[in-house]
Amino acid sequence: MTPDAPSELPTAPGAGAFELATRLSIAVRIEPELLRAMRLAALPSLDVSAEADLWFSRWVRTRGADGIVLLPAVRAYLQGRLAELLAIQPERDRELPWQVLARIHRSTSPALLLEERVAWLVARHGPDAAAAVDEELRRALRALVVEGRTGVADWFGRAWERLPPAARATPAEWQLWQVSADRLPRTRMGVRRDGSNLLLGNVSGAGAAAIMVPDTDPRLLELSPAGRAPTTVAIRAGESSSIPVGPGAVRIRTARGDIYEIASEATGPPPDTIYLIRHAERSADPPPIGSGESAVPAASPFGVDFQGNDDPHSLLPRGWQRSGALAALFDPALGALQAGLQTPSALLSPAYGGPDKAAEYRTYQTLQGLSDRLGLPVVSEFAEGQEAQLAASVVSGSSGVVLICWEPDHIPALAAALPTVPGTVIPQSWQYDRFDVIWTFTRVPGAVPAQYIFGQVPQQLLAGDTDTVVGS
């Protein structure tokens, strides 16, 4: 039986491949010979199908004839699971994964072997690994400073995000980061404020500026938004990322220690219009107890991701049709907008553990067609259950037209948190089978503080959509 993996990860491989991947998670790259050696030494009861299952699983980030590389999130999760596994194994068996890896990788790059050694120490010793990890990283520091091996700086710039968080908190790691940055050439990185978000990387447009950062891949920055704790972000070369920072000023610190200040967001009027929609059609869940809906057959279909792979978090094909139809509804190529609608200037969906995770879920996918059409990012700063905070952030920190795609069970709470005119009646629940309605909130001109008038607009996009609204 396959252990339960976090829901934000892609579908896990079979149980045997899962156990094999756990023991291989300290490896930067998994070659066929390492895969075979680890199976035979650590899991001799498995047959060769476990190797194939892992090799072709959705947990693999890159795959080639000479090896595979696991997704960073998968690798981090499995290293944590490996630490739990080692803690309960007999002492004589605990060193086996490292012994196999060190033997197969004995002729690999010293830098990569060092990286794997650090990951192993954290998994093997947990909180007690700090001193040993610090000593391993000091070897790299000596090679860079004393021996002048500048390739170490390039390796560290690429390896930083792969290191376990515990390894990033040692004195040697900090010194290595600083020294590596000083020895690397610098390059320009674009930066632009977009409301309460900061766009970093390959960005342009009105208000864009450039900062100089060490030429690593990824680029490492420390962001210190006003009133928030500093966070470290990694931006891959040639890519861009939208980071929620709030409306206040932001201080950016590069790996070289250079400081840049980004001014606070200009204060403007609240949004003129706020739209709420639920995600498009997905594989059916059992209806809520007491909803009066009929039970869902056990053989209900799974959704599919953007590449057509089965995924329980994704939309059904009909849901992807609605995603495309919503793009035409809110930004028609021909003719005028439907009465009561405007083209959004901001798109929001729930957070599921981070910006990269949100893209794997149906709420993001529902907005994906419109996002691509308008060139607007889908911002995911708040999670389900944070409807009050989201409502306050939208009213105080956004402007124009805001479209929010949310989970239906939480939409009434989000609607109730918006400031509406006295006497407004909002449905207390969202009908389970209604994917085709837009809740609208239109700001009353001149009202201070802002107040909104509630309404509903049927989408009428696909066969089977109705011209009715969600009842109370």
> Does 255 share its domain with 291?
no
pLDDT of 18: 96
Name the pTM for this structure.
0.47
> Does 19 share its domain with 87?
yes
Listed residues 262, 283, 300: the one ending a domain: 262
> Does 191 share its domain with 131?
no
pLDDT of 266: 58
Average pLDDT of the segment spanning 60-82 = 92
Average pLDDT of the segment spanning 207-213 = 82
What span, in angstroms and rounded, lies between the C-alpha atoms of 29 and 24?
9
Which carries the bigger pLDDT value, residue 404 or residue 267? 404
What span, in angstroms and rounded, lies between the C-alpha atoms of 180 and 159?
12
Judge whether 85 lies within some domain: yes
> Does 335 share its domain with 419?
yes
Tally of domains within the chain: 3
pLDDT in tens, 394-448: 888 788 999 999 999 999 999 999 999 999 999 999 988 899 999 999 999 988 8
Contact 125, 160 (CB under 8 A): no
pLDDT of 225: 85
pLDDT in tens, 141-198: 777 666 667 667 667 766 767 778 777 667 777 677 667 666 677 888 889 888 888 9
Residue 60 has pLDDT above 70, yes or no: yes
> Does 277 share its domain with 393?
yes
Average pLDDT of the segment spanning 78-95 = 91
pLDDT in tens, 110-133: 888 888 998 999 999 887 888 888
What's the Rg (C-alpha) of the chain?
25
What span, in angstroms and rounded, lies between the C-alpha atoms of 167 and 159?
11
The range of the structural domain enclosing residue 221 comes to 186-262
pLDDT of 131: 85
What span, in angstroms and rounded, lies between the C-alpha atoms of 218 and 153?
13
Amino acid at 201: G
> Does 34 share its domain with 109?
yes
> Does 253 share its domain with 155?
no
> Does 277 share its domain with 303?
yes
CATH of the domain at 222: 2.60.40
Average pLDDT of the segment spanning 337-349 = 91
Listed residues 153, 179, 205: the one ending a domain: 179
pLDDT of 46: 95
Judge whether 7 lies within some domain: no
